[in-house]
Structure 1
Amino acid sequence: MKKRFWIAIPIMAFGLGWPLLAQENPTEPQPQHAQAQAQPAVSAPDVKSPGTPQLDAADLEAWLDGYMSGALEQGDVAGAVVSVVKDGRPLFAKGYGYRDVASKLPMDAAQTLVRIGSTSKLFTWTAVMQLVEQGKLDLDADVNTYLDFTIPERDGGPVTMNDLMTHRGGFEEGLKEILITDPAKFITTEKYLKDHMRPRIFPVGKVPAYSNYGTALAGYIVERLSGEPFDDYIERHILGPLHMERSTFRQPLPEKFQDNVSLGYMSASQPPQAFEMITSAPAGSMSATADDMANFMIAHLQQGRFGDARILKAETARLMYQPSAPHEPGFTTMAHGFFSGPINGKRLIGHGGDTIWFHTDMNLIPEEGVGFFVSFNSRGKNEAVYGMRERFVEGFMDRYFPDKGNEPLPPAIQSAQADAQALAGKYRSSRRIDTAFLKLIYTLQQSTVIANEDGTISFASEPGTKYRETAPGMWRDPNSEGALHVSTVDGQLTITNSKNPVSDMQRVPLAESAGLNSFILFGSIAVILLALVAWPLSWWCRRLYGQTLGLTGRDLVAYRLSRLLMVGDMIYLLGWYMALQPLFQMQFDGFGTALDPLLFTLQAGALVPLIGVGVGLWNAWLTVRSDRHVMAKAGSVLFAAALCGVAWVAFIGGLMSFTLEY
């Protein structure tokens, strides 16, 4: 099996993107599974090959004990919890490692709350479908009819709830105040939505772009249409009926849960991090135990039924699990908020989730009546958790539902060689920031498609995987279920990965290419630093040998101004480096209003590189026209190019976007 791209990542998947048996605390209420056990789901016959292990608690424990003990230690991950359900019953649940490393408090599937990140979205989408079922909400209506503020217009028509559920509202990514660790600074979802409205950078319905803002909008609509605060609604209409007594969307975490919540870690060998509060709460703020998540999986595997309770009518649940976004055959797609796609010949629906420190995945195999949930509480050494989570899912599927083997691919089409050459180049994700200073990161870090000599294509980040063009625009990996579809959307060459329905890769124009702009930026910095080092050295040498600079009037003014503006450019770039520190240090609570004064100063400071362009060109023009030495003339041209380079990258990278929203 190849890598699944529908485990979200970036930074925050709410996606962006994987021992010790804990003892239950008898003084705490336990999850109530009795009703769920009373009415088992009907699943397909379990037809296994002779060598396939039986999916039962004993085999799960033996496999997971071996996997988790090694993975946690090698990845420097503090702990994890797992739960598995089958045929309407909890089958297995266990904690591994520690929820508090210093105090040696173990992870416990029944008691320990973990942050499930974007897996929270499934609760929001379930609430949306409840309102659809009640006739209060139309999936195809303009969401502005349900809001007390207006989503900005863009071509392509109004944004609908269906667009939000498939991440096709066209919204730009946003990071400002998305995460807060100081309870005194926490803001409501309503305030977040109104204060940090995201621009729409794509026509509605055309380009998938994963959006926490869009899901938060949906949660706010649930609140407005139901007349209940979102947290109350989820507790009354989903958590209560499912006996999820140790789960909550509330932030800060209610006092009754605080003694049992897992701490979050960069790695197990480092100190714990502060509790993450998500301002786009319906998109990723839930805390839950693995046992409670088992109840949620059971309800969805039984088409909304949990014991004698029902959170969705069967027909509503069946609608929810149906694909709701356009997709190529065999590609993972969106099914009313669920990711839905094939693995090992089985259809899985589910959702991954990442906060900064917690990393979660939940998958259901409806035809088998099986669901599995895992959550880790650390990023791990070199971000090892992403590989751990991926291997957990792959290992589960390969062990209990092994691939029967892929059919041989047809040979490449005749035009494959030329098509590969046409595809080669730089690509960026449709999930990005285009209108603010963080565009610089998306400008300097892009995916590279390579045309191989044999007519296949590869990504520079995965050189061992080659895709063969088996039909016009369809590229397949002979060794896995992975595939790419190439199309042109609004004039942009676009690559869709079969495992990622929430963002496309779009061809980058040369002016915004990472290769070109990295060369310009770092080349300009090198030239400016060289000039600034040479400036005092040349002064010292002239003084030592009793020589003069030999410049007067405007030549001297241009020379000195060009050097001063080089100093100004370096201070300007250093200021932006400081503004980006929350990203480099994984401290996203630094992207808040406290950063605004620095951003405002830097935006005003854009005059420095702009003036530098004029002065640098003026100095070069004067020098080239003079009778100075050829090296002085070449240097002045090079220095002018460096000053122009800084201004160019600042413009292309969004540093001259005069907005405090990002």
Structure 2
Amino acid sequence: MGLTVLVLVLLGAATPVRAQTLPGDSAEPLDAFVRRVVTRQLADHRIPGATVLVVRDGRVVLTQGHGEADTGRGLPVDAERTLFRVASVGKLFVWTAVMRLVERGQLELDTDVNTWLEEGLQLPRTFPEPVTLRHLMAHTGGFAVPERLWPAGPTPDALVDYLQERRPPRVRPPGELSAYSDYGAALAEHIVERVTGQPFEDHLREEIWEPLGMRRTLFRRSVPPEFVADTALGHPLEQGRPRAQPLERVVVASSGSMLTTAPDLARFMLAHLHGGAVDGHRILGEETVRRMHQQHFTHDARLSGWAHGFMEFHLNGRRLLGHTGDAYQFTSLLVLMPEHGWGLFVSYNGLGERNAAQRARMELLRALLDRDFPAPPPRAPTKRLVTRPERFTGTYQTTWRSSGTAEASLAWRQEIRVREEEGTLRVHQPGMTARRWVEKEPLLFQPAETPDAPDRVAFREDAQGHITHLFLENRPLEAYERAPWYDTAPVALGLFAGCGALFALAVGMGLLLRTGAVAPLAALSLWNLLVLTGVVLLVRPLVPFDGDDTPWLLGATRTSALLGVGLTPGALFWSARTGRRGGGSWTWRLLFSGVALASALLTLWLHHWHLLGGG
């Protein structure tokens, strides 16, 4: 998946925002309604273009293009012809291909995936339980996340090489917790190739795209010449204006290389809404479609979870199935409501300001649901207080993170903080305003002011009654684990501030006193300030680095940190020796102790987060 997906961590999808429309108001024609909402979104958030498709009662009722596909060429979005990169929405084709092979008896959902993997790709037996295709479909394989922001070297040129070189460690038994895994989907993609003996794209074209009439859909590392003129480009903001950039080359099809049009995706959506067939062309049996749409994993039975490859969403009292896509400056959403023959697809070719496109897609979804399936009348806010709120207070960090690599140092940037406030829980999610929550059922909470909102928070306790995990409604792709105090943001920020202040004081004292005892401390402190500056820049608000190579900042910071660790004993020894010979004033003693302590703490922190060399 593209790096923007980490910016993730799809924060905008956590809490949808209502569009500026009257709930349930269907007087305005649908085409005018959608055009008004999307046009406002593009203007307000500086997003260059979008493509939109709406299905009602099992038929396409709207296909619209908005804005520009390429601002450099002034190319408008053509609803019928313009190809958008839909990122992880393409995973739905991986899982559909898997279910076809299950239907034919060529794959088994509950069999060890090593059954179909060659020797060099076999998963290690880290845990007794094997990883199965069912685990991969719910992202519960127990994998850590491979490095995405700071990849270890250039991206491999072939899927097999990617699977060998970027294999993440297994960090938990399969089936326990969800942690969104591009690697797991890539394994499934390769298994399809192994079982069918066909390249993945060829198999999809033969078995899914051509039967459905999807003639403008492809999984390619680069865009074929015949499609270049009709392909939308991604647009980062440059000085407040969207700037077209060439499409990135993608090795792993399931992680984001899919290019398609709204009409083509409509055929795929209709197949899932019509029991696996469109216009007499069948890609799945009806029973297989029903099975695929059934929930098969959730962290809590009261929350949304995973169907077989589809995310679940609960909005306006309805169950929806779908998938988000976030990569390479594109933001997409596909949702279905099978029992009503209803669906929506939207894709934006720019993230907009503060990743607003992620909020915009959910805003559009809520606006359309409010027209077609209004939420029940709101109830009065509940006054129920939390039983023993101190049980829940603490810091929780996502399972969707790296482990054993430098990117592990970013975990505290994505944490959820829970505090007690007047008998309620105050929950602060990254990038959002803190909200108050009250207990609806044991271990299940709802917003205090808006109990009918789709948001829910559930907690899990262990056998001793200690709270261990937090889960969010409409966020099945990850869980949040309770973090130890030393891994939290306040500790990291306090360390940065305290060490920085001590190092700066030592540099100032060195310039002021200019003695042989203080000079080594000042020099060491200046070097540590440079290291600390590099660390702060690395863990600043998550903005992906460009390029495939490990960012020079990470390499420079690691090298400087290692050199600083090597110089520290010598500098402290020389300062101590010189200070004792000169009698050692109280100023020198305090400074020596402070610099020694700060250097030790910084070294321990860097080692803990794998920022001292290594992976």
Could you state the TM-score of these two structures normalised by the residue count of structure 1? 0.82
Q: How has the CA–CA distance of structure 1 residues 655 and 396 changed in structure 2, closer, same or farther, with 3 Å as cutoff?
A: same
The question of 1:586 aligning with 2:525 is answered no
Residues 485 and 495, structure 1, Cα contact 8 Å, conserved in 2: yes
Decide which of 127, 135, 143 is 1:155's aligned counterpart.
127
| Per-residue deviation, 1:64 | 1.3
The question of 1:524 aligning with 2:499 is answered yes
| Per-residue deviation, 1:410 | 6.6
Q: Distance in 2 between matches of 1:199 and 1:64?
A: 45
The question of 1:648 aligning with 2:607 is answered no
| Per-residue deviation, 1:315 | 0.7
| Per-residue deviation, 1:515 | 0.7
SS of the residue 1:273 aligns to: coil
Decide which of 10, 19, 41 is 2:6's aligned counterpart.
10
Letter in 1 for 2:598: A
- Which residue pairs with 2:17 in the alignment? none
Residues 173 and 211, structure 1, Cα contact 8 Å, conserved in 2: yes
- Which residue pairs with 1:305 in the alignment? 277
- Which residue pairs with 2:216 in the alignment? 246
- Which residue pairs with 2:522 in the alignment? 563
For residues 296-352 of structure 1, what are the alpha-carbon distances to aligned partners after superposition, in whole Å with 9 as ceiling and x for unaligned?
A: 111110121111111101111111001111443441110010012321121100101
- Which residue pairs with 2:147 in the alignment? 175
Letter in 2 for 1:375: S
SS of the residue 1:456 aligns to: strand
Q: How has the CA–CA distance of structure 1 residues 309 and 242 changed in structure 2, closer, same or farther, with 3 Å as cutoff?
A: same
Q: How has the CA–CA distance of structure 1 residues 481 and 613 changed in structure 2, closer, same or farther, with 3 Å as cutoff?
A: farther
Percent of residue pairs identical:
29
SS of the residue 2:595 aligns to: helix
- Which residue pairs with 1:441 in the alignment? 410
Decide which of 419, 422, 437 is 1:453's aligned counterpart.
422
- Which residue pairs with 1:279 in the alignment? 251
Letter in 1 for 2:547: D
SS of the residue 1:136 aligns to: coil
- Which residue pairs with 2:66 in the alignment? 96
For residues 442-461 of structure 1, what are the alpha-carbon distances to aligned partners after superposition, in whole Å with 9 as ceiling and x for unaligned?
A: 23452221211133332265
Q: Distance in 1 between matches of 2:5 and 2:329?
A: 12
- Which residue pairs with 1:269 in the alignment? 241
Q: Distance in 2 between matches of 1:271 and 1:254?
A: 22
Q: How has the CA–CA distance of structure 1 residues 202 and 272 changed in structure 2, closer, same or farther, with 3 Å as cutoff?
A: same
- Which residue pairs with 1:224 in the alignment? 194
Residues 612 and 643, structure 1, Cα contact 8 Å, conserved in 2: yes
For residues 553-583 of structure 1, what are the alpha-carbon distances to aligned partners after superposition, in whole Å with 9 as ceiling and x for unaligned?
A: xxx4xx54433333433444456577779x9
Q: Distance in 1 between matches of 2:23 and 2:579?
A: 80
For residues 186-231 of structure 1, what are the alpha-carbon distances to aligned partners after superposition, in whole Å with 9 as ceiling and x for unaligned?
A: 6122211111111112221111111111111110111111100011
Q: Distance in 2 between matches of 1:283 and 1:178?
A: 17
Decide which of 169, 188, 192 is 2:158's aligned counterpart.
188
- Which residue pairs with 1:34 in the alignment? none
Residues 5 and 327, structure 2, Cα contact 8 Å, conserved in 1: no
Residues 535 and 557, structure 2, Cα contact 8 Å, conserved in 1: no
Q: Distance in 2 between matches of 1:177 and 1:195?
A: 16
The question of 1:317 aligning with 2:289 is answered yes
Residues 521 and 592, structure 2, Cα contact 8 Å, conserved in 1: no
Q: Distance in 1 between matches of 2:33 and 2:145?
A: 39
Letter in 2 for 1:565: L
Q: How has the CA–CA distance of structure 1 residues 145 and 12 changed in structure 2, closer, same or farther, with 3 Å as cutoff?
A: farther
The question of 1:362 aligning with 2:320 is answered no
Q: Distance in 1 between matches of 2:454 and 2:553?
A: 49
Give 1 or 2 for the bigger CA radius of gyration: 1
Please tell me the root mean square deviation across aligned C-alpha atoms, in Å. 3.2
The question of 1:510 aligning with 2:485 is answered yes
Decide which of 33, 36, 45 is 1:63's aligned counterpart.
33
The question of 1:421 aligning with 2:390 is answered yes
Q: Distance in 2 between matches of 1:10 and 1:444?
A: 12
SS of the residue 1:335 aligns to: coil
| Per-residue deviation, 1:408 | 6.1
Q: How has the CA–CA distance of structure 1 residues 448 and 580 changed in structure 2, closer, same or farther, with 3 Å as cutoff?
A: closer
Decide which of 96, 99, 105 is 1:129's aligned counterpart.
99
- Which residue pairs with 2:588 in the alignment? 632
Greater displacement, 123-132 / 643-652:
643-652
| Per-residue deviation, 1:499 | 1.6
Residues 333 and 346, structure 2, Cα contact 8 Å, conserved in 1: yes
Letter in 1 for 2:485: L
- Which residue pairs with 1:389 in the alignment? 361
Decide which of 482, 498, 513 is 1:538's aligned counterpart.
513
Letter in 2 for 1:372: L
| Per-residue deviation, 1:641 | 2.2
Letter in 2 for 1:333: G
Q: How has the CA–CA distance of structure 1 residues 489 and 108 changed in structure 2, closer, same or farther, with 3 Å as cutoff?
A: farther
SS of the residue 2:53 aligns to: strand
Q: Distance in 2 between matches of 1:280 and 1:613?
A: 47
Q: Distance in 2 between matches of 1:426 and 1:482?
A: 19
- Which residue pairs with 1:481 in the alignment? 454
Residues 91 and 255, structure 2, Cα contact 8 Å, conserved in 1: yes
The question of 1:430 aligning with 2:396 is answered no
Letter in 2 for 1:158: P
Letter in 2 for 1:564: A
Greater displacement, 86-95 / 227-236:
86-95
- Which residue pairs with 2:207 in the alignment? 237
Residues 213 and 280, structure 1, Cα contact 8 Å, conserved in 2: no
Decide which of 149, 163, 169 is 1:199's aligned counterpart.
169
- Which residue pairs with 1:80 in the alignment? 50
Could you state the TM-score of these two structures normalised by the residue count of structure 2? 0.88
| Per-residue deviation, 1:245 | 0.8
Letter in 2 for 1:405: P
Residues 11 and 356, structure 1, Cα contact 8 Å, conserved in 2: no
Letter in 1 for 2:372: Y
Q: Distance in 2 between matches of 1:471 and 1:350?
A: 28
Q: Distance in 2 between matches of 1:347 and 1:256?
A: 40
- Which residue pairs with 2:114 in the alignment? 144
For residues 107-139 of structure 1, what are the alpha-carbon distances to aligned partners after superposition, in whole Å with 9 as ceiling and x for unaligned?
A: 111111111011111000000101101111110
Residues 358 and 379, structure 1, Cα contact 8 Å, conserved in 2: yes
Residues 304 and 312, structure 2, Cα contact 8 Å, conserved in 1: yes
Q: Distance in 2 between matches of 1:616 and 1:399?
A: 70
Letter in 2 for 1:247: T
Alignment of 1:43-58 (within 5 A): 52-53=24-25
Q: Distance in 1 between matches of 2:149 and 2:594?
A: 41
- Which residue pairs with 1:400 in the alignment? 372
SS of the residue 1:350 aligns to: strand
Q: Distance in 1 between matches of 2:234 and 2:61?
A: 27
SS of the residue 1:81 aligns to: strand
Residues 179 and 589, structure 1, Cα contact 8 Å, conserved in 2: no
Letter in 2 for 1:152: P
Residues 7 and 543, structure 2, Cα contact 8 Å, conserved in 1: no
Greater displacement, 528-537 / 308-317:
528-537
Letter in 2 for 1:465: R
Residues 67 and 77, structure 2, Cα contact 8 Å, conserved in 1: yes
Greater displacement, 106-115 / 650-659:
650-659
Structure 1 unaligned regions, length at least 5 = 1-7, 19-49, 540-548
Residues 603 and 658, structure 1, Cα contact 8 Å, conserved in 2: no
Q: How has the CA–CA distance of structure 1 residues 639 and 587 changed in structure 2, closer, same or farther, with 3 Å as cutoff?
A: closer
| Per-residue deviation, 1:91 | 1.0
Residues 113 and 132, structure 2, Cα contact 8 Å, conserved in 1: yes
